[in-house]
Amino acid sequence: MSHVSSRASHGQSPLRTVQVLGGGNAGSSAHVRSLTAGLVARGVRVTVCAPEEADHAYDFTGAGARHVPVPRSTDPVSVAALRTACADADLVHAHGLHASFRAALALSGRSTPLVVTWHNRAYAEGPRAHLLRLLERRVVRAATVVFGTTSPLVDRARRRGARDARLGAVALPLPSAAASEDPDRPRAKVRAELGATGRPLLIAVGSLDPTRGHEVLLDAARAWRGLDPVPLLVIAGEGPLRPLLQRRIEDEELPVRLLGRRDDVGELLAAADLALLPGSEEARSVLAQEALHARVPLVAALTGGVRELVGDAAELVPRQDAGALAAAVVRLLGDPERCEQLRQHGARQAATWPTEEETVAQVLSVYDELTQPRLLA
């Protein structure tokens, strides 16, 4: 695959793409940021349609894109803004189910190719489950190509009627060289600041909402209170469950600290003894990838695409099973050989994941495939 869009190499005008992002979880937002930088470097013009706060957090404009603020809404004003932003696009690429639905509405009646990436499986119960199926069908049938970040997501798209569903490479941007030059330098300082000097430090990262399994974490924390020294669990993230979780921590005297939203997760992770992923609908969990890259042993609930992502490089436990989670933590804290084995497996597993270069090359090859003029026979 050429490093430059084939349009540029054939002297055509640059390919104009629009990336559409909804609220965007950390994985899809980081992917769009990485993809934007790679596409711009290869001569592609990129417009990112995303809420204002997403550009503040991920700096799409800093990656060379034009940012058009479009709220996460299907109201007529948002769809009209998206339709205007896509007016001159050669191709539109939407990330996530709801962003894809808005893009499909905005492109209605146009022949502009629509590429969709499903980063996670959406869940709903009762009557909403039926609406979710209808939404998925509407999206995949409007899409020219659907990328699924895991094999189950590709299969799901095909079951919903996708004309062309493929496994999509998604790379997590690696920490900068400066952050990884001396990983031990901030470790003691970070542990002291958190109150984890002389005791194991456990870390979980994720928004404090019901899908993330933080209540299971608190249940498990009761079980390791009896260890000597008592491990400290820190949870980085903010969300609607914070008051409930904080009340439980205080009432049950749990060795847990809620840190709120942090921009130093890399340093926190580097200082930790174990990373915990109690439950996540992310098909390619950002925390799981960061933990393996940072050589921090991971205990993860078996959800979504986690087994496909981590292979044998983590301790996997049943979802919503606080006992199994606690037992895995206690076991690993007492077994340095197993921890070292997980670190080595993690490094090997991380080396199998697609690089940012490979991800951009795959996406760009599909863009070229969908936008090159067809030669008449």
Residues 76 and 224 in one domain: no
Judge whether 190 lies within some domain: yes
Residues 161 and 203 in one domain: no
Residues 160 and 196 in one domain: no
- Render pLDDT for 161-175 as a digit per residue (tens, 0 to 9): 999 999 998 887 665
Q: How far apart are CA 139 and CA 104, in angstroms?
A: 7
Helix axes 127-142, 151-159, angle to 10 degrees: 90
Cα angle 369-171-203, degrees, rounded to a multiple of 5: 160
**Residue 101, both tokens:** 């639905």
Residues 268 and 236 in one domain: yes
In terms of residue numbers, what domain contains 70?
Answer: 6-171+355-371
Q: Examine the pLDDT at 24 and tell me if it is beyond 70.
A: no
Residues 186 and 142 in one domain: no
Q: Is omega for the bond preceding 229 within 30 degrees of 0, making it cis?
A: yes
Q: Please report the pLDDT score of residue 122 as a whole number.
A: 80
Strand 114-118's sheet: what is its strand order? 66-69, 45-50, 16-21, 91-95, 114-118, 145-148, 165-167
Query: Quick one: average pLDDT of 198-204?
Result: 96
Query: Quick one: average pLDDT of 346-374?
Result: 91
Which residue, 276, 279, 185, is CA-closest to 236?
A: 276
In eight-state DSSP terms, residue 63 is: G
- Render pLDDT for 273-299 as a digit per residue (tens, 0 to 9): 999 999 876 778 888 999 999 999 999
Q: Please report the pLDDT score of residue 181 as a whole number.
A: 46
Q: Please report the pLDDT score of residue 12 as a whole number.
A: 67
Q: Please report the pLDDT score of residue 303 as a whole number.
A: 77
Residues 137 and 192 in one domain: no
Judge whether 377 lies within some domain: no
Judge whether 237 lies within some domain: yes
Query: Quick one: average pLDDT of 193-200?
Result: 94
Which of residues 308 and 236 earns the better pLDDT score? Answer: 236
Total structural domains within the chain: 2
Q: Please report the pLDDT score of residue 254 as a whole number.
A: 97
Q: Examine the pLDDT at 8 and tell me if it is beyond 60.
A: no
Average pLDDT across the chain, whole number: 89
Residues 367 and 307 in one domain: no
Judge whether 247 lies within some domain: yes
Q: Please report the pLDDT score of residue 171 as a whole number.
A: 83
Q: What percent of the chain has pLDDT over 70?
A: 91
- Render pLDDT for 27-67 as a digit per residue (tens, 0 to 9): 788 899 999 999 999 999 999 999 998 898 899 999 999 99
Report the amino acid identity of residue 124: A
Residues 200 and 229 in one domain: yes
Residues 101 and 196 in one domain: no
Judge whether 376 lies within some domain: no
- Render pLDDT for 344-355 as a digit per residue (tens, 0 to 9): 999 999 999 989
Q: What percent of the chain has pLDDT over 90?
A: 67
Residue 185 phi/psi, 5° resolution? -60, -50
Judge whether 66 lies within some domain: yes
Largest CA-CA distance found in the chain, in angstroms, rounded: 76
Concatenated DSSP letters of 230-286: PPEEEEEB--TTHHHHHHHHHHTT-SEEEEES-S-HHHHHHH-SEEEE----BTT-H
Which of residues 124 and 177 earns the better pLDDT score? Answer: 124
Q: Examine the pLDDT at 103 and tell me if it is beyond 90.
A: yes
CATH code assigned at 342: 3.40.50.2000
In eight-state DSSP terms, residue 319 is: T
Place of tokens 């895995």: 328
Judge whether 120 lies within some domain: yes
Which residue, 269, 257, 347, is CA-closest to 311?
A: 347
Residues 126 and 188 in one domain: no
Q: Please report the pLDDT score of residue 376 as a whole number.
A: 43
Which residue, 374, 207, 221, is CA-closest to 280?
A: 207
Integer CA distances (angstroms), 318 to 80, 325, 339, in order: 44, 8, 20
Q: Please report the pLDDT score of residue 176 as a whole number.
A: 47
Residues 365 and 251 in one domain: no
Residues 99 and 231 in one domain: no
Judge whether 34 lies within some domain: yes
- C-beta separation of 240 from 246 below 8 A: no
